[in-house]
Structure 1
Amino acid sequence: MQESKRQKQVAGLLNEELNAIFLRMGLTMMNGGMISIASVKITPDLYDARVYLSAFQVKDTNEVLKTFEEKTKEIRKELGARVRHQLRSIPELKFYIDDTLDYVFKMEELFDKIKKEEEDKK
């Protein structure tokens, strides 16, 4: 099912505000790596938001996810203060690790390996 215009608008607003909140709270650098928001998906009723985090050069992504889950209440409170005039209710936040970057690196390694094997055969 495709996202509605309102879902996209709210997701964009949440993405923008959460980025600012993460910067203020010092959540962009963890475990020797960088954390950023890959995307925000919101349910049609606008009550639940899935925040996909991109972790670059982070040693333990599970620990990062645990940290965000522990700070969810504080993040949601700050978000509520920032968007209270734009949204009737503040969505519940659920954090997930976006592993598409890892997938891209693995695919590139496989393509390089295949290319090298083909060159060795020639």
Structure 2
Amino acid sequence: MEKEETTRQQKVGRQIQKDLSDIFLKEARHLVQGAMVTVSKVRVSPDLGFAKIYLSVFPFDKGAPTLAALHDHAGTIRFELGKRVKNQLRIVPEIAFAIDDSLEYVERIEKLIQE
């Protein structure tokens, strides 16, 4: 059974989401390889030491290569994140990326309904 996130976890998650969106837009454009990457959700561990970042990638077929590039450069991205959250957090959380495929699922359902 999954515990409900605390208010602090939610606030930290929203801050990380905002900062990572900015990083992808400015510093990490070369990593997303022309795809549109949206940070859809961030889940932070109770000790704030780990953050799982859910990304929505468009077009959908660029999801796997984009995710691989982000995994390879996670240290650099975490460093950029640390520069932004240094005044809010004592420890910059370890980060892991995952694909949020909910938009792809919705699109598939819509196509099935239209047929």
CA shift, 1:24, in A, is: 1.5
Residues of 2 paired with 1:20 and 1:87: CA distance? 18
> Cα offset for 1:51?
0.5
Write the letter of the residue equivalent to 1:83: V
How far apart are residue 56 of structure 1 and its match? Answer: 1.2
Tell me, in whole angstroms, the C-alpha distance in 2 between the residues paired with 1:28 and 1:39.
Answer: 22
Q: Secondary structure at the match of 2:81?
A: helix
2:36 pairs, out of 24, 34, 37, with 34
TM-score if structure 1 supplies the norm length? 0.85
Give 2:13's match in structure 1, choosing from 11, 14, 20: 11
Structure 1, unmatched stretches of 5+, are 114-122
Aligned residues: 113
TM-score, normalising length: structure 2: 0.89
1:87 and 1:50, CA in 2 relative to 1: closer, same or farther beyond 3 A? same
User: How high is the sequence identity, in percent, across the aligned residues?
Assistant: 36
Rg bigger for which structure?
A: 1
Could you tell me how far apart the structure 2 residues matched to 1:106 and 1:71 are?
31
CA drift of 1:26 comes to 3.8
Q: What value does the CA root-mean-square deviation take over the aligned residues?
A: 1.7
The question of 1:91 aligning with 2:93 is answered: yes
SS at match of 1:79: helix
Residues 38-49 of structure 1: matches in 2 within 5 Å? Answer: 38-49=40-51
Write out per-residue CA displacement over residues 15-51 of structure 1, whole angstroms, 9 at most, x where no aligned residue: 1111111111243884553111111111111111010
